[in-house]
Amino acid sequence: MPELPEVETTRRGIAPHLEGRRIRRVDLRQRQLRWPVPDEVASLKNAAVSSVGRRAKFLLVDLPRGQMLMHLGMSGSLRVVPEKTPPNKHDHVDFVLDSGQMLRFTDPRRFGALLWTASPGQHPMLDHLGPEPLDDAFDDDLLFRLSRGRRQSVKTFIMDNRIVVGVGNIYAQESLFMAGIHPSRPAGRISAARYQRLSAAIREVLGRAIRAGGTTLRDFSRVDGQPGYFAQELSVYGRAGAPCLQCGTLLSQSRHGQRSTVYCRRCQT
């Protein structure tokens, strides 16, 4: 499933092709995605795109009458292709631009979504989201303050979008390894100093992943069709039973919130 770095990589890839352009028409071949594509999106015509932003894993396309929200779901992707490019089976929506190109939404599993709001930044899917981990609102004390009294594992705690957005399974494991924190440790029993290290690790891991173009494991690729290269930098994710890159101990595996977790029992305490 695309996580924050993959979505941000997609945003950076499509923004130069959309901003300042007009959507001449929408070619809708499959209306039923995770939710039905709303009429406001299906009927876009000659609408000028002013900006392309992101909130958590939603892409936000600002238009004169409102804002389109795009979510890639588990297997969705966006490509910028020439207008005459024939669609394949899972190419569900084309946004045809006045440049002679089009933005193509592809989603084999149809868990992605195209949504609409007349009030940019306001939508039920955006309510109750925590701060962005790369913004100033995610300060060094936030995780410590919100963790007090919590018994859940620190891994599930930092993956909670109400606490901080965008720390998915891959990047939670990598951040906890960088910070030297065992993923099963109760969130409420971690010191302020260790949470400061974890906050710094989250920012570092996500920043590196964005610079590498995200992580390609199976479905994700960039707007230009190229893979994301952060998979080459993974320290623990997907490496159960392999030697720890720091100490050589064979990496262990457990489960948190029904998600597999790989960690080093020596380096993470």
pLDDT, tens digit, for every residue of 26-38?
999 999 999 999 9
The mean pLDDT value for 208-235 works out to 64
Report the pLDDT value the prediction gives residue 206, as an integer from 0 to 100. 95
40: left (phi > 0), else alpha (psi -120 to 50), else beta?
alpha
Q: Based on the domain organization, do 154 and 246 belong to the same domain?
A: yes
Task: Decide if pLDDT at 217 tops 90.
Answer: no
Task: Decide if pLDDT at 232 tops 80.
Answer: no
Report the pLDDT value the prediction gives residue 76, as an integer from 0 to 100. 93
Question: Domain with 24 in it: what CATH number?
Answer: 3.20.190.10
What is d(CA 86, CA 222) in angstroms, rounded to the nearest whole number? 20
What is d(CA 118, CA 211) in angstroms, rounded to the nearest whole number? 33
Q: Based on the domain organization, do 113 and 151 belong to the same domain?
A: no
The share of the chain scoring above pLDDT 70, in percent, equals: 93
- To the question of whether residue 109 is assigned a binding role by annotation, the answer is yes
- To the question of whether residue 182 is assigned a binding role by annotation, the answer is no
- If one compares 97 and 213, the residue with the highest pLDDT of the two is 97
Q: Based on the domain organization, do 102 and 188 belong to the same domain?
A: no
Question: Domain with 191 in it: what CATH number?
Answer: 1.10.8.50
Q: Which residues contact 16 (CB under 8 A, 6 or more apart)?
A: none
The mean pLDDT value for 128-137 works out to 94
Q: Which domain holds residue 64?
A: 4-117
Reported as a pLDDT band with limits 50, 70 and 90, residue 212 is confident
Say if 74 falls within a structural domain: yes
* Per-residue model confidence as pLDDT tens digits over 162-198: 999 999 999 999 999 999 999 999 999 999 999 999 9
Q: Total structural domains in the chain?
A: 2
Report the pLDDT value the prediction gives residue 191, as an integer from 0 to 100. 98
* Per-residue model confidence as pLDDT tens digits over 69-88: 999 999 899 999 999 999 99
Say if 135 falls within a structural domain: no
Helix (H) or strand (E) holding 33: none
- To the question of whether residue 239 is assigned a binding role by annotation, the answer is no
Say if 134 falls within a structural domain: no
The SS3 assignment for 40 reads: helix
What is this structure's pTM?
Answer: 0.89
Report the pLDDT value the prediction gives residue 57, as an integer from 0 to 100. 95
Q: Based on the domain organization, do 149 and 113 belong to the same domain?
A: no
Active site residues: 2-3, 57, 259
